[in-house]
Chains A and B, each alone.
Chain A
């Protein structure tokens, strides 16, 4: 079968690879119908998340059709159209039982590196390097999904593939970001990043009761899309002093909750950013925390900073003093896909959230390399490239 493989830092190629097979009773094989690129893939491609190996199949945000089930699978049938959560969860450990699926104890068979880096190993993630279990990814015609009954969910009829695909990662990540904020109704929420996750976080915050949502980015077309689709206010950080703007927009208070949906390759303007960028390229720090710093500085006293952008290691000049003295709540994590997906699919079917517009560039799998280039360079107004391995 054809698959988009990582070939080295900054290099991708479409290759012929063997087809996956059922290896355990709970496995299912999914014929991929739509597989989205994701901002976190860029960290893998560019070598900021460690432990990619030449030939690894990329991709973790996808949906498709069940074509084979292991003998232990009970909830799914061949032919089901399903969306699959990116994080692998066994369904049987304490973390899974308490719905903290991205912390599953048993789904990362290669836990040594993350244990060294982070003290403990979180769940495995499909197509997400050997630090996250070394699973083959979804930018391929077929993919093996372990614990199919736990991780794959039938898509309601009438929800198109290119919308359902975002229920795999961008929607649950955005929802969890808003969920972390503990909204009670009437809050002002600021969201850093107008990519797919940021926009889904903004929409989720609205549904959960935020009165005003302010989205921050530097790409005018993304800000325009967010404003038009979601009715949010926007700040272009390349033209505006974000901290001043947020302070003024909230009459001095600052946002009640700040969501960071950017991650370790954050952009900014000015000398601090140049310094961070230099240090990161020399590998003197693993992550550029520009937007987290801003979120902490902007957040109102006693507010919540919710981090769903991906970070891998160590950051420099983290304003812990601001967080401590303003008594902020910091919440963060990889999303618990399996907790949120069924509820999100219901909201999708009801038209409450419509992420279909995020798929600005549907492309065949063979054009995957170009798809990532469009996405990374943000060319042609690209929000998300969604690859279609078949037809």
Chain B
């Protein structure tokens, strides 16, 4: 039988441990929360594309290539001069769509506002020359409104705008650099249909939010 002192000591050590772990987890979570500004969540993500700035701009102004690139997941339609309407399937799936207005504000700078979609958001993209002949930095800033409850559910559902932004940047990079987005889903395997569906879920987890 343990003495009373030992039990107290163990309980004390346990409490200190739990509180300590809790604080660590909280700090870690806070560090991973997006920055907040005037009620918006703000995330900034960048990716480096190994092409000069003009080539990256050229990719987005070459209508034919852009349509081919977007074919799977979005349509783009010109409203007037510098404004475009983009209708896209929600990258997280689930059959929902979002509609955005894109405004070109100058060479290498554009903004977009989602006018109809699961999450209110707006953003800007800026193209900057990368140092050392490394091509172009695509720097994106995304602002979205999302209450804590919604955010919690959003995280569970995997449709966090930040993850979608990272995915989109990676797709853009891949399309500009090698003309395709590689896909290995449903490559030959000895899996049953049930195992294949489970593997699809794993693949999605391993794909979503990657940064290359």
Contacts and interface: CB of A to CB of B under 8 A. Distances in A.
Partners in one complex: yes
Interface residues of A, number: 51
A320 interface: no
Contact of B180 (A25, A108, A121, A130): A25
Contact of B182 (A17, A18, A133): A133
A17 B189 contact: yes
A13 B190 contact: yes
B183 A55 contact: no
A138 to B, nearest CB: 11
A146 B182 contact: yes
Interface in A102-125: 105-113, 115, 121, 124
Chain B interface mostly: loop
Interface stretch (A33-41, A91-99, A248-256, A303-311): A91-99
B211 A115 contact: yes
Contacts of A3: 188, 190
Given A53-B195, A57-B190, A146-B182, A110 B50 contact: no
A101 to B, nearest CB: 13
B135 A112 contact: no
B210 interface: yes
Contact of B134 (A94, A115, A121): A94
Contact of B188 (A7, A20, A106, A112): A20
A375 interface: no
A24 B189 contact: no
B188 A136 contact: yes
Contact of B187 (A5, A91, A107, A134): A134
Contacts of A90: 174, 177-178, 182
B50 A97 contact: yes
B205 A112 contact: yes
A20 B183 CA distance: 13
A32 to B, nearest CB: 12
Chain A interface mostly: loop
B191 A53 contact: yes
Report which residue of A1, A20, A25, A111 has the largest number of chain B beta carbons within 10 angstroms of its beta carbon: A111
Given A23-B183, A135-B187, A130 B203 contact: yes
Contacts of A94: 48, 50, 134-135
Contacts of A54: 190-191, 195
Interface of B: 48, 50, 134-135, 170, 173-174, 177-185, 187-192, 195-196, 198-199, 202-203, 205-212
Interface of A: 1, 3, 5, 7, 13, 15-20, 23-26, 51, 53-57, 72, 88, 90-94, 97, 105-113, 115, 121, 124, 130-131, 133-136, 140, 144, 146-147
Given A54-B191, A94-B134, A121-B210, 8 more contacts: A5-B190, A23-B183, A55-B195, A92-B179, A105-B174, A108-B182, A110-B206, A134-B187
